[in-house]
Amino acid sequence: MMQVRGALMAVVCLPLLAQAAGESTWQAEAMGAALSHRGVVASSKLLAPPHKVSGVITQVYWRYSLFSLPPDRLEVKLCTQTQCVIVDGQQGVTSAFAGQPANQPFHFVWGVYGRGSLYPVMRVRANQVIVNYR
């Protein structure tokens, strides 16, 4: 329970920290995808800035939640139209997109290595990005 509270506080406080450092922030979230078979990939909806944005990315924070435990051999990528980065865990931060335009949308790509059906079906409850830019 303490980890969940800490994670929620981090997601709430990150934009405030970015603004204190002279950066701007945008955030977007959407419901997730579903996977019923291994060896297949699914993409989330686009996570785009909710308002006009100009500048370059400094960091991107991500978070996703599943309705059940993650299946073995799950691979999750956070992507723009030109680049994908494998994300480790259900939340984190990356500077891999630093210097790229801050107005571009992101999406998650979900895949589970192997063959056969997934039981239970892997359903993503929510996807979120918080983009810091200057």
Q: Hey, where are the domains in the chain?
A: 2-133
Q: How many residues does the chain have?
A: 134
In the prediction, which pLDDT does 22 show? 76
User: What tokens does 75 get?
Assistant: 């691979």
User: Tokens for 101?
Assistant: 């335009």
Burial code (b: 16+ CB inside 10 Å, e: under 16) for 80-110 equals beeeebebeeeeeebebbeebebbbebbbbb
pTM over 0.85: no
pLDDT in tens, 114-130: 999 999 999 999 999 99
- 63 CB contacts (<8 Å, ≥6 apart)? 7, 11, 90, 91, 126, 127, 128
Could you tell me which CATH number the domain at 2-133 has?
A: 2.60.120.260
Q: What are the tens digits of pLDDT across the range 53-110?
A: 999 999 999 999 999 999 999 999 999 999 999 999 999 999 999 999 999 999 999 9
